[in-house]
């Protein structure tokens, strides 16, 4: 059995509907679960609401742990796929993840992510992709920051590549998730709001010798939405979470963003901490 879990607030209502439509094209019997964030509740037909976390600040680490625990409750053999609310599954995403975990049942596996352009993310175009995920092949262009195995191949990560683990799309067996939760808690809930918790999770996988495999053909497609660079809307969270990361690892996460904020006069470094100006 396969469960796919995601997190979203009410502004992503349509994105979850789209995701579910696309999923049902390749896996009509899949269990699709949602952790609702922020104050406004919402529901999507065919998607089970796992929990409603109504905090002002989205507690992403806690939400992912809650989602994973829900998916792992039935069987140790359950395959759990985490997929970001802004992502559509490619036509073979589920199939490739299942194959990879059949071969490497104790690993975490992850696939390529294509960031769609604005013209490929209109409501009409996304509806076409959801109705026929195979049409996403024409716009496949995986992000260059991550390894990109050829279709039908996969390879184990190098130690350095754990650094580019993203929670946008990954999968593991329920037995592995339970082991992770028991040994080191999963996503570290000391990270509040946005930033750092993905890298921390990847580094914990490496520290605990959990294999991470890159899976060719397990494509996910991130639908375009406006962003700022650096992400000014998350300035406070990034500073706090960067400090948390440094306290754990003695190295900085999100350093490029911090330096951009510093150049703009928004933050300063005082010894081993960053502070808002």
Query: Within this chain, do residues 205 and 275 fall inside the same structural domain, yes or no?
Result: no
How far, in Å, CA of 81 to CA of 168, rounded? 10
Query: Within this chain, do residues 238 and 193 fall inside the same structural domain, yes or no?
Result: no
Query: Within this chain, do residues 234 and 201 fall inside the same structural domain, yes or no?
Result: no
Which residues have CB under 8 Å from 41's CB, separation 6+?
A: 10, 52
Query: Within this chain, do residues 156 and 196 fall inside the same structural domain, yes or no?
Result: yes
* Number of domains forming the structure of the chain: 2
Report yes or no: 114 and 45 within 8 Å, Cβ to Cβ: no
CATH of the domain at 120: 3.90.550.10
In terms of Cα–Cα distance, which of 86, 91, 89, 115 is closest to 14?
86
Query: Within this chain, do residues 140 and 256 fall inside the same structural domain, yes or no?
Result: no
The reported pLDDT for the residue numbered 226 is 86
Query: Within this chain, do residues 231 and 184 fall inside the same structural domain, yes or no?
Result: no
Report yes or no: 17 and 86 within 8 Å, Cβ to Cβ: no
Query: Within this chain, do residues 132 and 76 fall inside the same structural domain, yes or no?
Result: yes
Query: Within this chain, do residues 220 and 231 fall inside the same structural domain, yes or no?
Result: no
Angle subtended by helix axes 13-26 and 93-103, to nearest 10: 70
Residue-wise pLDDT for 207-238, tens only, equals 999 999 999 999 999 999 888 889 998 999 99
Q: Pick from 226, 242, 267: which residue ends a domain? A: 226
Query: Within this chain, do residues 12 and 140 fall inside the same structural domain, yes or no?
Result: yes
Instruction: Please name the residue that has the structure tokens 């960031």.
Output: 115
Report yes or no: 93 and 220 within 8 Å, Cβ to Cβ: yes
How far, in Å, CA of 202 to CA of 244, rounded? 15
Query: Within this chain, do residues 11 and 27 fall inside the same structural domain, yes or no?
Result: yes
Query: Within this chain, do residues 204 and 107 fall inside the same structural domain, yes or no?
Result: yes
Range of the domain at 150: 2-226
Bridge pairing between strands 31-37 and 2-8: parallel
> Residue 28 is encoded by which pair of tokens?
């009509």
Q: Pick from 226, 244, 267: which residue ends a domain? A: 226
pTM of the full structure: 0.96
Query: Within this chain, do residues 33 and 107 fall inside the same structural domain, yes or no?
Result: yes
Give the chain's residues under pLDDT 70.
Answer: none
The reported pLDDT for the residue numbered 140 is 95
């Amino acid at each position: 059995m396969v469960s796919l879990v995601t997190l979203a607030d009410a502004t992503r209502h349509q994105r979850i509907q789209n995701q579910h439509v696309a999923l049902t094209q390749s896996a009509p019997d899949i269990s699709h679960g949602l952790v609702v964030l922020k104050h406004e509740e919402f529901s999507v037909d065919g998607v089970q609401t796992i929990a409603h976390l109504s905090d002002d600040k989205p507690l992403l680490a806690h939400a992912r742990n809650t989602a994973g625990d829900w998916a792992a409750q039935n069987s140790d053999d359950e395959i759990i796929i985490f997929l970001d609310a802004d992502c559509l599954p490619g036509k073979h995403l589920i199939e490739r993840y299942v194959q990879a975990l059949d071969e490497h049942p104790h690993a975490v596996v992850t696939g390529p992510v294509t960031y769609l352009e604005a013209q490929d993310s209109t409501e009409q175009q996304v509806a076409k992709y959801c109705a026929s995920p195979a049409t996403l092949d024409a716009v496949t262009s995986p992000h260059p920051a991550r390894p990109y195995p050829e279709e039908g191949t996969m390879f184990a990560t190098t130690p350095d590549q754990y650094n580019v683990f993203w929670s946008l799309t990954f999968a593991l067996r329920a037995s592995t998730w339970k082991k992770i939760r028991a040994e080191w808690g999963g996503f570290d809930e000391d990270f509040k709001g946005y930033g750092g918790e993905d890298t921390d999770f990847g580094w914990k996988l490496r520290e605990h010798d959990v294999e991470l495999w890159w899976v060719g053909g397990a494509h996910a497609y991130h639908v375009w939405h406006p962003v700022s660079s650096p992400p000014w809307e998350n300035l406070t969270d990034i500073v706090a979470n960067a400090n948390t990361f440094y306290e754990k690892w003695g190295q900085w996460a999100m350093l490029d963003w911090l330096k951009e904020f510093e150049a703009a006069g928004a933050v300063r470094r005082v010894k081993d901490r960053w502070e808002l100006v």
